[in-house]
Amino acid sequence: MSLFSRLVVTTLPLVPKLIVGRVAAPYVAGETLDEAVAVIRKLNADGAEATMDVLGEEVTVEAKALAAVDEYLRALEAIRGHRLRCNVSLKPTQLGLKLGEGFCRDNVERLVKVAVEDDNFLRLDMEDHTCTDATLRVYRHLHERYPGRRNGTVGVVFQAYMRRTLHDVAELPERDANVRLCKGIYIEPRAIAWKGYDVVRRAYVAALEKLFRRDVYVGIATHDEYLVCAAVELIDRLGIDRDRYEFQMLLGVDPQLRRILIDAGHRLRVYVPYGRDWYLYSMRRLRENPEVAGHVMRAMLRRSAA
């Protein structure tokens, strides 16, 4: 961690919320569902699909978890009503994983049933390593209960920097598995996670190739142009059909690369988060990722000087 990034993390609580909001604005659709719908309609018009995410995690109060379920039901209704090219992604701890695996599974299943009725899709996000096994159990349970769609009705996320990922790829269901592959965002111990920028890149490419060879539908989630290039090379070399993968990017990050991929004929999906928890979410992510915090602060200083 650089000295500047360490200083930024230490002083983050002193940064006014208004300033954090201005910096975060391009990356969060807003606080309301209507704001998220407006953003997604623009993305759809521009040739991109979307994943809607209601911000929130680490819920330890049952009523708050049930409120999150209700908000996701509203989101699915809005997707259907506005005919958006969009699915949903959620964090298991937001729906009560820390309150009990069965409670969380039941909450997720309520949403999966609606997604099935709408011929839509739901993805379980992956959080830190304390949640991995439980998240995968919930995924396998729901994947088995709701089969039928070529690319699955329920998907999950693998983090390339986790040492277990190649093993987890091998343990996926035989048919219709759907995985978003990302580098990984949480600060994990070296004993369970690969360290080093180039090492994590190598782990990502290895996991992507194994997913392709197992005929898994893959959401290639990265803004790293090296990895985009490596993915395109694998797609070409292995003869992967265009309907067996998509690229995924975060809202507000590298729209030029997004445009390049769409123009090249690749399916691309943009992750669109919204909700009242934007501030706590942003601050938590910045604390967990000091180098990102440094980049955000530099961006803020550049904007202030402009």
Residues marked as catalytic: 125, 180
- In whole angstroms, give the CA distance from residue 122 to residue 70: 15
Contact in structure between 271 and 51 (CB atoms under 8 Å): yes
Q: How many helices (H) and strands (E) does the chain have?
A: 12, 8
CA distances for 116 relative to 13, 112, 147, 153, angstroms? 43, 6, 10, 7
Structure tokens at 154: 């329920």
- In whole angstroms, give the CA distance from residue 218 to residue 221: 9
- In whole angstroms, give the CA distance from residue 179 to residue 192: 20
Contact in structure between 217 and 169 (CB atoms under 8 Å): no
Give buried/exposed letters for 128-138 (b at 16+ CB in 10 A, else e).
ebebbebbbeb
Give buried/exposed letters for 200-216 (b at 16+ CB in 10 A, else e).
bbebbbebbbebbeeeb
Contact in structure between 68 and 115 (CB atoms under 8 Å): no
Q: Is 179 helix (H, G, I), strand (E, B) or coil?
A: strand
